[in-house]
Structure 1
Amino acid sequence: MAKIPTPLNSSQIKNAKPKDKEYNLADGQKLSLRIKPSGSKAWIFTYQRPYTKKRTNLGFGSYPEVSLASARKLRTEALILLADNIDPQEHKAEQRQKNELAHLNTLEHVAKQWHEVKKTSVSASYSQKIFRALELHILPKLGKFPIHKIKASQTIEVLKPLAEAGKLDMIKRVTQAINQIMTFAVNTGIIHHNPLANITKAFESPKKRHQLTLEPKELPALMKALSYANIQLLTRVMIEWQLHTMSRPSETAGARWEEIDLEAKLWNIPAERMKMKRPHTIPLSPQTLELLEIIRPHSIDSEYLFPSDMKKGQHRNTQTANMALKRMGYGGRLVAHGLRALASTTLNEHEFNPDVIEAALAHTDKNEIRAAYNRAQYLEKRRVMMCWWSDEIEGKNKNDDNVVKLMRDQA
């Protein structure tokens, strides 16, 4: 019967002197203190590997950095693993690897991974806008932190300056983005739960604000101001094109000649340029076709309808129309995106089919089958409506109730 060693005590360990050769002081249950000729003392756990029964050692660290009590605790943990046929050495390596990986998964690293996925479901301009907000307000202070160590309290602290500045819309945008990043991390197995799920409750909710727009009765004055405005021809046509087509500023600014089907009189915008990543087709009225003829000589060498003056090979900035509207005296009254609201209000007032209007605005129908059906079903009805809208912009519908009624009935 093997002799059971007497457990070590602190005095034995402190008084253990080095010898010419290293030797062990046994504490029992596979734990020993190895004394080396140099005088260093290290804890050794000697065991047989599960299944192979090969004898091996696992170091628990040096004494006195690792005390007798700490070494015994590590021994107990190792014995529990062995009871479940788990090799303590392999378990330690796995834990080290997990810890290293967890620290490599910083908030910035995971945010970039999330952004690559996010870009596939929203427009390029919108995804860039979201990530830019993170780069400005979150990543400088939290980006280098391992994502599993990000806490609600520190995130709220980082966002407080925005709240104090009254930038509640930015807080909403940033908290939505960072929550999506955390959810992405949960779904990909990087973390187990989202600790930031309720941080929005730490701030006031922003007041809902609609895009600045005009009343339908102000449309003639807008068109008159546009005709006399001291702005470049391409900028003027850019604003008119957006107004006639009811498109978003980014869709208009990035419009390409290859998207125009003159024979079918259609503007086919690919999914990657749309906000909701779904292709959108816009029937072109006679007026929009005329606009194309006006700008063709000025953009014949470009792939874009509205090429940039400053950056060769690029399109005009999405803010070009807004800057022009400000110079025209519409600052604080109208933004480019508000042109869509102006069209929607006018068409609804004239009792066009609301579903046809929504289809023209490329608003998303959550029912995929119905959305696909509506796109096909409403195309010709939208063509009639878009032609009416272009006539309305030019003032041709005034005092012509019969035409209005006919157009509305056909829509």
Structure 2
Amino acid sequence: MPLNDRQIKNAKPAAKPYKLADGKGMFLQVTPAGGKLWRLKYRINGKEKLLSIGKYPTVSLSEAREAAENARRMIAAGQDPSAAKQQAKQERQAALLNTFEAITRRWHSENLHRWKPDNAVRILNHLEKDVFPYIGGQQIDGIAVADVKAVIERIAARNAPATAEKIRQWIAAVYGYAAMLEITDRNPAAPLRGFLAKAETRHLPALPREELTEFFRRLLLADIDPQNRIAVLLIMLVFVRSTELRGSRWEEIDYAAKTWTIPAERMKLPRAHVIPLADWPLELLAELQTTTGGSPYLFPSRTKTTGFISEATLNRIIERLGYKGTATPHGFRSLASSILNEQGFNPDAIERQLAHVPKDKIRAAYNRAEYWPHRAEFMQWYSDYLRERYNAARALIDAGGHV
């Protein structure tokens, strides 16, 4: 007699496994632990085999019968249902491994030798934040150009077109890697080359020099970490790029020689950039070392055990001071350049201090002078110029005044 739900529910475990037959080779196996497993016994090519259908009650009696009937049809057609089930399982596992995220992580791990550790972490962080949540779970062969376009448009909308293009390039590289593995011949990132028009060259907001004393007054009164306050002062004093300051390491500072040497690989230039350090920057560095000297970085991250402060840190501080749209970390380079040029210092020396690459390649080839005496002179002058306004801000605070 065929089974019914009442019989199945009332079946109790015994010391040894036993079977409750439903007919046509299908039965319910009851285990000593109380498990109830659907099985189908069949023969194919002269061999007796057993097909696992599922576990009761996850697979109901009617569902088990339907699965058994489908298996019988396959057997009648000369197909082995157990082999088909195993193949389907393997295909599901392969599909899971071929998601964009899975392939991307393989690509990333196999390319670690190409990147510096900090850069490798940054790349993966970008992918985890901006890509995986949107297309990471999709099969790599099923992602369309529109999917990738939506990803990079979302990033560009944050006013980060350079990051968006970089991510498009990484996605394209992942597809190149997948092609090498013979997983796909498609590359939906390739047609989007040039889709994000290069951001129109524009000068980032620079703090007006008339605002320097008020800026320092607000900075002194701001409720921020002392090391972040020093970071703002240093980027004003040595006017390096934000990434060069944030990634600075203590090994780059030479107090005896009064220099800070940024390696070529951090400058993305064929040579290192050596900065003459004036008195005030040296004092700030000595103060900072009492706080962060235990880290390899001048400005270590508070949230990551290895790494330095984020790109947004200095921008947020400046915005909190009330200078959003008026000043930026990069704008301090323009401010320094304007003031130093107006004071009559050597323009070529100023350009060298800014680590600008001359557009005139012939001039660049022959004009290799480091202008060290000129640079040391104006860096000390500029340090004194800023300290004078900083001291004026302190005096205002002491007097309870306002600019």
TM-score band (shorter)? Answer: 0.5 to 0.7
Compared CA separation, residues 122 and 203, structure 1 to 2 (3 A): same
Q: Aligned letter for 1:124?
A: D
Q: How does 1:229-378 map to 2 (within 5 A)?
A: 229-271=222-264, 273-274=266-267, 279-299=272-292, 301-306=294-299, 319-350=312-343, 352-363=345-356, 377-378=370-371
Contact 2:318 2:328 in 1 (8 A): yes
Q: Which residue of 2 aligns with 1:392?
A: 385
Q: How does 1:75-86 map to 2 (within 5 A)?
A: none
Compared CA separation, residues 235 and 172, structure 1 to 2 (3 A): closer
Where structure 1 has 5 or more consecutive residues not aligned to the other structure, the ranges are 1-34, 39-60, 67-99, 397-411
Compared CA separation, residues 178 and 304, structure 1 to 2 (3 A): closer
Deviation at 1:266, TM superposition (A): 0.8
C-alpha distance in 2 between matches for 1:212 and 1:114 = 39
Deviations 1:140-166 (A, max 9, x none): 332244544433133335567x39xx8
Q: Aligned letter for 2:334?
A: A
Deviations 1:113-165 (A, max 9, x none): 6556589568936x6555444323432332244544433133335567x39xx
Q: Aligned letter for 2:180?
A: G
**SS at 2:180 equivalent:** coil
Contact 2:341 2:347 in 1 (8 A): yes
Q: Aligned letter for 2:353?
A: A
Q: Which residue of 1 aligns with 2:204?
A: 211
Matched, 1:181 2:175: no
Compared CA separation, residues 209 and 302, structure 1 to 2 (3 A): same
Q: How does 1:122-137 map to 2 (within 5 A)?
A: 124=118, 131-137=124-130
Q: Aligned letter for 1:360?
A: Q
Q: Aligned letter for 1:270?
A: P
Q: Which residue of 2 aligns with 1:80?
A: none
C-alpha distance in 1 between matches for 2:306 and 2:170 = 34
Contact 2:148 2:188 in 1 (8 A): no
Deviations 1:228-249 (A, max 9, x none): 5454443332211111111233
TM-score by length of 2: 0.56
Q: Which residue of 2 aligns with 1:226?
A: 219
Compared CA separation, residues 132 and 268, structure 1 to 2 (3 A): same
C-alpha distance in 2 between matches for 1:137 and 1:107 = 13
C-alpha distance in 2 between matches for 1:300 and 1:273 = 20
C-alpha distance in 2 between matches for 1:313 and 1:349 = 42
C-alpha distance in 2 between matches for 1:382 and 1:123 = 33
RMSD: 5.0
Deviation at 1:270, TM superposition (A): 3.5
C-alpha distance in 2 between matches for 1:226 and 1:149 = 52
Q: How does 1:17-28 map to 2 (within 5 A)?
A: none
Deviations 1:345-388 (A, max 9, x none): 33344465555434333445799999798777344443333223
TM-score by length of 1: 0.55
Q: Aligned letter for 2:172?
A: M
Q: Aligned letter for 2:230?
A: V
C-alpha distance in 1 between matches for 2:75 and 2:362 = 68
Compared CA separation, residues 210 and 139, structure 1 to 2 (3 A): farther
Identity %: 34
**SS at 1:268 equivalent:** strand
C-alpha distance in 2 between matches for 1:314 and 1:130 = 13
Q: Which residue of 2 aligns with 1:153?
A: 146
Q: Aligned letter for 2:164?
A: V
Compared CA separation, residues 153 and 232, structure 1 to 2 (3 A): closer
Where structure 2 has 5 or more consecutive residues not aligned to the other structure, the ranges are 1-43, 48-73, 80-92, 390-403
Contact 2:349 2:370 in 1 (8 A): no
C-alpha distance in 1 between matches for 2:305 and 2:163 = 32
**SS at 2:240 equivalent:** coil
